[in-house]
Amino acid sequence: MVRNLKGGNRHKKMARKNLNEDNTKTKTRLADPKEPCEMYATVTRMFGQGNCQVLCNDGKTRICVIRNKFKGRNKSKNMILIDTKVLIGLRDWELISNDKKEKCDLLEVYERSQHNDIKNDPRSDWKLLATSIEKELIKESEQQPFEFIHSDNEIFSKGEVTGTETIDNEELDFSSI
């Protein structure tokens, strides 16, 4: 009898019914303007046990609770790392103590291809949510454009290259190279 190497009780999780199509484009879920508790945030720090620290659109840092929808088998599409853009829901029903940070819930994880949709949303403050690299690019674009200025020390020759050239008072012969 042949040994069963591919089946068994642990092989069911590999079934095709559990795989998602990669070619499908999902519509970007933006913050609902009718709901004041939804806002954009950037993950600044990862904690254990399904928690992370986020910098919200209003400039406050909060503790974000990652629900089971974004864990386990669904984690591959919703990978949460530092500088990931997310949509959070504030807990307006929760009492806040002075010595603890506010908590919020994770509602959506955005991919890099969806960042332009977030930038165009009027409720997002992209200068606050941008990563450190993106912030440098924003600062450079706000500055005046630069100009190329040629100094008098630079000499540009338009003639043909001869067999010998001088660099720093030394003669080089290209034919010997």
Condensed to tens digits (0 to 9), the pLDDT of residues 53-110 reads: 999 999 899 999 998 888 877 677 788 989 899 999 999 888 888 888 999 999 999 9
Tell me the two tokens of residue 60.
Answer: 């406050």
Residue 104, classified by CB atoms within 10 Å of its CB into exposed (0-12), middle (13-18) or buried (19+), is buried
Is the pLDDT at 148 greater than 60? The verdict is no
Question: What pLDDT is recorded for position 7?
Answer: 67
More confident residue, 13 or 131: 131
Cβ neighbours of residue 174 closer than 8 Å, sequence gap 6 or more = 161, 163, 164, 165
Q: What percent of the chain has pLDDT over 90?
A: 24
pLDDT for 163 equals 54
The Cα–Cα gap between 18 and 73 comes to 9
pTM over 0.75: no
* Of 31, 56, 53, the residue nearest 41 (C-alpha): 56
Q: Mean pLDDT across the chain, nearest whole number? A: 77
Average pLDDT over residues 170-175: 70
What share of the chain in percent tops pLDDT 70? 60
pLDDT at 159 over 50: no
Q: Phi and psi for 50 in degrees, rounded to 5?
A: 75, 30
Dihedrals phi, psi of 112, to nearest 5 degrees: -65, -30
63 CB contacts (<8 Å, ≥6 apart)?
47, 51, 52, 53, 54, 101, 102, 103, 104
Please, are residues 43 and 86 in contact by the beta-carbon 8 Å criterion? Answer: yes
What does the buried/exposed string (b/e) look like for 52-85 if buried means 16 or more CB atoms within 10 Å of the residue's CB? Answer: bbbbbbeeeebebbbeeebeeeeeeebebeeebb
List the single range of 62-71, 118-127, 159-168 with lowest mean pLDDT: 159-168
d(CA 101, CA 93): 15
Burial class of residue 139 in the structure, from the number of CB atoms within 10 Å of its CB (0-12 exposed, 13-18 middle, 19+ buried): exposed
36-138 folds as: OB fold (Dihydrolipoamide Acetyltransferase, E2P) (2.40.50)
**Which residues touch 11 (CB under 8 Å, ≥6 apart)?**
none
